[in-house]
């Protein structure tokens, strides 16, 4: 308990090496709360600072934490080509409203190896014409890879944008068989 008699939420984190570079994974007692691409020291420190501000507690590095163990196992299996779905408890506290609605639909409704257009995803949540807002939701996704924003593409066949960088998006789509493996 903290000094006000409130239970403080524990946030634990670790960095996992993957084929797309280091990923920061952070979890609360509720579930996985944040995944951050390209988790070099500088990116990691900035992300942990934002996480502390948003959740009101300082994240603690705990690579052996039971809260992270299953997430680490599933992420490693995904990148090894041994897992197509993530079955993890998720803490949605870093998203709300329309963004959360879109991200939940994406997580449950766009399977491994499939893609969806921004406008199609907007229609799925009852907001036809909100393709740009879906793009904003993808850019604010606190759980990339787990909530597969890399599967959202432009309706004309373009790859669209991606917070982790277009090369990362291409690699993820190639891993899922949507695109051919990059030549180099």
Q: Where are the beta strands (DSSP E) in the chain?
A: 12-16, 23-27, 32-36, 60-61, 116-117, 152-153
Q: Report d(CA 74, CA 57) in Å as an integer.
A: 26
> How far does CA 164 lie from the centroid of its chain?
10
What does R_g of the chain's alpha carbons equal in angstroms? 17
Give the number of other CB atoms < 10 A from CB of residue 156.
7
Distance CA 38, CA 21 (A): 6
Catalytic residue among 103, 143, 146, 149: 149
Is 149 known to be catalytic? yes
Q: Beta strand 60-61 with 116-117: parallel, antiparallel or unpaired?
A: unpaired
Given a contact cutoff of 8 angstroms between Cβ atoms, the answer to whether 142 and 94 are in contact is: yes
Q: Torsion over CA of 75, 42, 135 and 77, rounded to 10 degrees?
A: -10
- Write out the catalytic residue numbers: 149
């Amino acid at each position: 308990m903290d000094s006000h008699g409130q239970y403080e939420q524990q946030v634990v984190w670790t960095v996992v090496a993957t084929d797309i570079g280091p990923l920061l994974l952070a979890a609360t007692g509720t579930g996985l709360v944040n995944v951050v691409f390209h988790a070099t020291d500088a990116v990691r420190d900035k992300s942990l600072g934002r996480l502390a501000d948003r959740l009101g507690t300082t994240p603690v590095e705990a690579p052996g934490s039971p809260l992270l163990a299953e997430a680490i196992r599933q992420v490693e299996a995904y990148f090894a080509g041994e897992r197509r779905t993530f079955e993890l408890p998720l803490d949605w506290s870093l998203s709300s409203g329309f963004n959360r609605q879109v991200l939940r639909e994406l997580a449950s409704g766009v399977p491994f190896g499939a893609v969806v257009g921004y406008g199609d995803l907007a229609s799925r949540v009852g907001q036809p014409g909100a393709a740009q807002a879906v793009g904003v939701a993808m850019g604010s996704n606190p759980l990339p890879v787990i909530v597969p924003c890399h599967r959202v593409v432009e309706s004309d066949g373009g790859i669209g944008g991606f917070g982790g960088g277009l090369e990362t998006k291409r690699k993820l789509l190639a891993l899922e068989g949507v695109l051919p493996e990059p030549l180099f």
